[in-house]
Chain A
Amino acid sequence: AGDQNLFTSIYPTLSQQLPREPMEWRRSYGRAPKMIHLESNFVQFKEELLPKEGNKALLTFPFLHIYWTECCDTEVYKATVKDDLTKWQNVLKAHSSVDWLIVVVENDAKKKNKTNILPRTSIVDKIRNDFCNKQSDRCVVLSDPLKDSSRTQESWNAFLTKLRTLLLMSFTKNLGKFEDDMRTLREKRTEPGWSFCEYFMVQEELAFVFEMLQQFEDALVQYDELDALFSQYVVNFGAGDGANWLTFFCQPVKSWNGLVLRKPIDMEKRELIQRQEATLLDLRSYLFSRQCTLLLFLQRPWEVAQRALELLHSCVQELKLLEVSVPPGALDCWVFLSCLEVLQRIEGCCDRAQIDSNIAHTVGLWSYATEKLKALGYLCGLVSEKGPNSEDLNRTVDLLAGLGAERPETANTAQSPYKKLREALSSVEAFEKHYLDLSHATIEMYTSIGRTRSAKLVGKDVAEFYMRKRSAQKAEAHLQGALKTYLAEGWALPVTHTRKQLAECQKHLGQIENYLQTSSLLASDGHLTQEERAHFCQEILSFAKQQVDSPGHRILLPMHSFAQLRDLHFDPSNAVVHAGGALSVEITLYSQMPVPVHMDQIAVNVHFNIEKNSYRKTAEWLTKHKMSNGIINFPAETSLFPVSQNSSPALELSEMFERSPSDNSLNTTGIICRNVHMLLRKQEGGSSLETPSGVALEDGAHVLRCSSVTLQPGANRVAFRTQAKEPGTYTLRQLCASVGPVWFVLPHIYPIVQYDVYSQEPQLHVEPLADSLLAGIPQKVKFTVTTGHYTVKNGDSLQLSNVEAMLILCQTENRATIFSNSREESSVASLRIQASDKVTSIGLPAAPAYHVIEFELEVLSLPSASAAVGERGTQGTPEIHRKQKDRQRTGHCMVTTDHKVSIDCPWSIYSTVIALTFSVPFRTTHSLLSSGTRKYVQVCVQNLSELDFQLSDSSLMDVGNATDLQLAPLNAQCQQHIHSKQSVFFVWEIRWTREPPPALHCQFSVGFSPASEERLSISLKPYTYEFQVENFFTLYTVKAEISPAVGAEYCRTGSLCSLEVSITRLADLLEVDKDEALTESDEYFSTKLMYEVVDNSSNWAVCGKSCGVVSMPVAAQATHRVHMEVMPLFAGYLPLPDVRLFKYLPHHSAHSSQLDADSWIENDSLSVDKHPDDQLDCSSVRSRGSVASVASSEHKGLPMPRLQALPAGQVFNSSMGMQVLVIPSQDDHVLEVSVT
């Protein structure tokens, strides 16, 4: 408004400058502020242009009213401009428009002309005062707009900023109002009269505005909202909640000319919507074309593809939901056209590389288009072999009519979807070409993005198409590919279906072998109906019948589809037969066929190999170790999935711990898969899934056959019989069943099934029944004759050469048992045994080859030799017990004797020598006991065997010539039981009348018999034992006595007591005394003795010298007393310390001077010449003085006196076992004294 001329002069600059700088646009509802470029259209103010109340057009809405004036003097202003302005303002107010601006343009040129001008600001102020009483910013001064000065520039900038702000303010306000209006309109949608189309137009207006403002995002949101709203309505309609306005969308579809995406706005359709005449497809098409345009503006072509697919799907759904009547094929046409249109549109706006990298988005459209074209092809009869019939043609014409005319914008492009569809539907050949093009493109795309399964599915469709066209060759490849995938992943139903198609295809191609194989697979397929399976089975059988005339030609098929080997049973069960023996193998075949099948032959190929010289193949080993039950079960593999889960090996996992070496704490732990290599290889090598067609038939020389077998569906048992010929191992390799020329072969039998054939040399074994044979009593020995290939005839006998000390006891009845080699008892026969002096002959019962004869004989080893193994000589009383303990510890080894028997066998010219070892069940020890001068002999019989014995008639005889010696038994019982591992003692007193001999030679004998057996057939020889006792006469008695300290009543711990040792000689000079220790002076004999007081249990502390040498006169009743001080260490009844006597033998050496015995004793280093059995004693001495051992080793080689222990029988310790009461010391504290 205002000065039009002025405006026109400024306008170019203004419109140019305005959009140059972006403005921040703050929006309501917390939407993010955006930078936008304003661009506006200026129109001359006319009253008519002002919007009426209720107008919804936002696009042409005047946002800002500007009054331009260039008036500079007050008069003019008052006269005209003010009125004009007032009028303008009133009009605006009438329309309740608050967005206005007054621009005062100043012109210096005009100012100069008039001298008496008011200050220029006054007009502005005036205007401001008049009109902008509150909003002073509504009046702007623009100075010298047409000049190019800095001041102009400044004012321009200020003006533009102001203008922009105001424009935006107004825009925002109006937009907000519009949106509110729109929302209220939307809220009214439940009202009956509401029309979606009207609302659509309103919201689209908003979208247009956004689009204009380059806010495509927001524009898209508007369309999406519309889309969603519409979809919701359709869904609600489907749920029975219909809106009136929807009904006209439900009118029958008459035209299906696809999406049009080339034009930004499809005005044609928009008008239809405006006129409320659009069909659902029209509305959808229009909506989508708008969305598409916006998306493309937003550089998101992939979303277009994605949305297109969704749209097409949902459209189809919606049409169904709204029950819109659509001629058959029309939708297919529409979808197909739309798909292609979208694809071409996308292609049009992207370059090649971009498309290639985003195939994933478009491939869905491709496959959808393919699918639809296929459907159209079927519908119009373009797929069948004969071509379309008239009905199909009619349909085609109808469809083409529905397409309408080609759109002008695509008419001149050669590859428009419209043209494509027209062409494809026009003829069979063109259809094939187009369809295959599309399919191959789709497959290629799928494969390139790795969606192999989808590619296979499309491939299968193509195959179906080919089958329709009777070109099975091309179909087969596709089918095989698909089948492979399904098999690999174990999809049973698709596998079956694909196989069925494949079978048909192969039948056409005449691939007999493949066809039969597929048929056999199908016939065993549980997913098919019984009739179908029977049909395929019949196919095989009929083929087998018709090919009978051409012999020699075999068709090999894998067995697993036909039948499965379930288990295998050997008879004999351990699958070991001797050469010539009969073996039967029974297999269970589980037939998968739906009908009984008569097989000409079922055969098992056997691989033979000889393993010589290996123990594992000998008869004994085989018969002993191969004790399986003879049934081998085969894992029931599901024939459908050769490479499904059950063929992959199980995970072998093991724990792993790693500990730090320093403190054994756990460092790492984990699980290791030990067979990773197998598992991983399995995954890669999934290529060889289908059993390779080349099933090789092994032509082994050894075949087990079974002819004319009818296999019922389910389990069948087939038995094979064979005669074992050569020894060796036979491995069952292949199983094949044949019907005419058709052979079903199971190429490998796994787990490995073998049977062994052996031949055996006759053998004889003799072994004792018990663990060891005991001498002296009858023992049973088992004879085992393994006949092997030798047949034992009646009259064959074993000749045993007798040994003196071993008797073979011939009992009246001896029974031999004959077993077969597999331990089955076959018969019992009696033995004839003829014994002569030298030879015992045993007549064997007749037995066939490969049998075992077992019998038992009793033998008796005479204990004659046992006495020869004597025990060691006499020892002292205390030692002997220890020694026995020692022996018992070191082992229970019984004394053994060996007897060798040589046996002549009928099958061999050599005689077999067999050694039998008998052990003596007893061990006997003896000991000498003394009491003063009385002497006793104790004999200990120890039973080492496991048996209990009855001992009787024990006797001890002096075998020496000591006639004056009497042995008086002190044993009460004459019969005694001796249990296993126990001992029995016998005691005799030795009495003598004269001076006893130095040595006594005795023989002990005792009769024995096993306690368990009451009666024995023969009398057993008694057990004898010879021994010798020496120096049994007592020479000295030692008496020790402890008396408390003087004045005290009892011994106290810690206080010294006196020990008095008296050594008394009991006899005059005897034979035994004549040795080195004896010194003779003036017919007065004396012997040097050394005594020693030792306390082993450290009850006593010996104070002062513990040992010394005394010279003992050799005369009866000569006594030597020694006093010593001892101190008890503990309270209680304490045993007296030991007093030992040794013979002190001076060293006999010419050059060495006699050493003072006392100095030696002072040294306390004694070289003790002891009996080797006295180790324990020795150690006790050593423990007393560790110095001694060291010193003795130092003194090695030096001449020194020797000590010789007196034989136990010569010394009698009369105070042995005496005890002395020791009471604790008064002051109650424990005194610990350690004596070293």
Chain B
Amino acid sequence: NYPLYIRSTPMESELKFHYMVHTSLDVVDEKISTMGKALVDQRELYLGLLYPTEDYKVYGYVTNSKVKFVMVVDSSNTALRDNEIRSMFRKLHNSYTDVMCNPFYNPGDRIQSRAFDNMVTSMMIQVC
């Protein structure tokens, strides 16, 4: 539950995002535990909307190895539907898998991969 990688735009409200993401882990945990009971093998990785706040929507995604991705999106951005979010997560997951494939990456370390960084940046630019 420690952050591997955090990035946010705009930078000024970074702290708020951090708090938000951290709090959302609660919901992630809750969802995982309820889902784990239901179906273990064929689990949907996408958790959907974790919880909405007034200004942001928080989406979650959990890999099978319990690596969590949380995405906070401005809720006024209505162009982002569930499907888009889902594909974004999938992209994120793929990129993360690439990072993990790096033999020099020590699982559990902070991610410093440039490729991953670029991918996230491009995704952010695309959204915003």
Q: Which A residues form the contact surface with B (CB < 8 A)?
A: 235, 238-239, 309-310, 313, 316-317, 320-321, 360, 364, 446, 449-454, 457, 486, 489-494, 497, 641, 644-645
Q: Is the CB of B2 within 8 A of A645?
A: yes
Contacts of B6 in A (CB 8 A): 493
Contacts of A321 in B (CB 8 A): 76
How far does the Cβ of B29 sit from chain A's closest Cβ, in whole Å? 7
Asked if B53 is at the interface (CB within 8 A of a chain A CB), the reply is yes
Which residue among A310, A486, A489, A494 has the maximum number of chain B CB atoms within 10 Å of its CB?
Answer: A494
Contacts of B1 in A (CB 8 A): 489
Contacts of B15 in A (CB 8 A): 493-494, 497
Known: A489-B22, A494-B22. 16 other contacts (CB 8 A): A239-B78, A309-B52, A310-B52, A317-B75, A450-B29, A450-B30, A451-B23, A453-B25, A453-B26, A457-B19, A489-B3, A490-B3, A491-B2, A494-B18, A494-B19, A645-B109
In the complex, residue of chain B having the shortest beta-carbon distance to the beta carbon of A487: B2
Asked if B51 is at the interface (CB within 8 A of a chain A CB), the reply is yes
Interface of B is mostly: mixed
Contacts of B51 in A (CB 8 A): 364
Asked if B44 is at the interface (CB within 8 A of a chain A CB), the reply is no
Asked if B27 is at the interface (CB within 8 A of a chain A CB), the reply is yes
Contacts of B25 in A (CB 8 A): 453, 489
A645, B106: Cα distance in complex, Å: 10
Asked if B108 is at the interface (CB within 8 A of a chain A CB), the reply is yes
Q: Is the CB of A452 within 8 A of B108?
A: no
Q: Is the CB of B52 within 8 A of A457?
A: no
A645, B105: Cα distance in complex, Å: 13
How far does the Cβ of A1232 sit from chain B's closest Cβ, in whole Å? 67
Q: Is the CB of A452 within 8 A of B76?
A: no
Contacts of B3 in A (CB 8 A): 489-492
Q: Is the CB of A452 within 8 A of B2?
A: no
Q: Is the CB of B76 within 8 A of A317?
A: yes
Q: Is the CB of A493 within 8 A of B27?
A: no
Interface of A is mostly: helix
Contact of B78 (CB < 8 Å), options: A238, A309, A489: A238
Asked if B12 is at the interface (CB within 8 A of a chain A CB), the reply is no
Contact with A along B22-61 (1 / 0, CB 8 A): 1101110110000000000000000000011110000000
A317, B1: Cα distance in complex, Å: 31
A316, B52: Cα distance in complex, Å: 12
Contacts of B84 in A (CB 8 A): none
Asked if B14 is at the interface (CB within 8 A of a chain A CB), the reply is yes
A593, B14: Cα distance in complex, Å: 24
Contact with A along B54-79 (1 / 0, CB 8 A): 10000000000000000000011010
Q: Is the CB of B108 within 8 A of A645?
A: yes
- Ranked 4 nearest A-B pairs via Cβ: A490-B2, A451-B26, A645-B108, A489-B1
A391, B15: Cα distance in complex, Å: 31
Known contacts A451-B30, A489-B2, A238 near B14 by CB under 8 Å: no
A320, B78: Cα distance in complex, Å: 13
Q: Is the CB of B26 within 8 A of A491?
A: no
Contact of A491 (CB < 8 Å), options: B22, B27, B76: B22
Q: Is the CB of A453 within 8 A of B18?
A: no
Q: Is the CB of A235 within 8 A of B78?
A: yes
How far does the Cβ of A303 sit from chain B's closest Cβ, in whole Å? 15
How far does the Cβ of A307 sit from chain B's closest Cβ, in whole Å? 12
Q: Is the CB of A454 within 8 A of B76?
A: no
Q: Is the CB of A453 within 8 A of B23?
A: yes
In the complex, residue of chain B having the shortest beta-carbon distance to the beta carbon of A645: B108
A491, B14: Cα distance in complex, Å: 12
A1228, B54: Cα distance in complex, Å: 110
A645, B2: Cα distance in complex, Å: 9
> Could you pull out 18 A-B pairs where Cβ atoms are within 8 angstroms?
A309-B52, A313-B53, A313-B75, A317-B75, A360-B30, A453-B22, A453-B26, A457-B23, A486-B22, A489-B3, A491-B3, A491-B22, A493-B6, A493-B15, A494-B15, A494-B19, A494-B22, A497-B15
Q: Is the CB of B52 within 8 A of A313?
A: yes
Contacts of B78 in A (CB 8 A): 235, 238-239
Contacts of A645 in B (CB 8 A): 2, 108-109
How far does the Cβ of A485 sit from chain B's closest Cβ, in whole Å? 8
How far does the Cβ of A456 sit from chain B's closest Cβ, in whole Å? 8
A489, B19: Cα distance in complex, Å: 12
A360, B27: Cα distance in complex, Å: 10
Q: Is the CB of B22 within 8 A of A313?
A: no
How far does the Cβ of A788 sit from chain B's closest Cβ, in whole Å? 49
Which residue among B23, B52, B108 has the maximum number of chain A CB atoms within 10 Å of its CB?
Answer: B23
Q: Is the CB of A644 within 8 A of B2?
A: yes
Contact with A along B78-97 (1 / 0, CB 8 A): 10000000000000000000
How far does the Cβ of B47 sit from chain A's closest Cβ, in whole Å? 15
Q: Is the CB of B29 within 8 A of A454?
A: no
A1175, B17: Cα distance in complex, Å: 96
How far does the Cβ of A869 sit from chain B's closest Cβ, in whole Å? 66
Contacts of B2 in A (CB 8 A): 489-491, 641, 644-645
Contacts of A497 in B (CB 8 A): 15
Q: Is the CB of A493 within 8 A of B14?
A: yes
A489, B108: Cα distance in complex, Å: 12
A360, B26: Cα distance in complex, Å: 11
In the complex, residue of chain B having the shortest beta-carbon distance to the beta carbon of A496: B15
Q: Is the CB of A316 within 8 A of B30?
A: no
Contacts of B27 in A (CB 8 A): 451
A491, B53: Cα distance in complex, Å: 21
How far does the Cβ of B57 sit from chain A's closest Cβ, in whole Å? 9
Contacts of A238 in B (CB 8 A): 76, 78
Contacts of B26 in A (CB 8 A): 446, 450-454
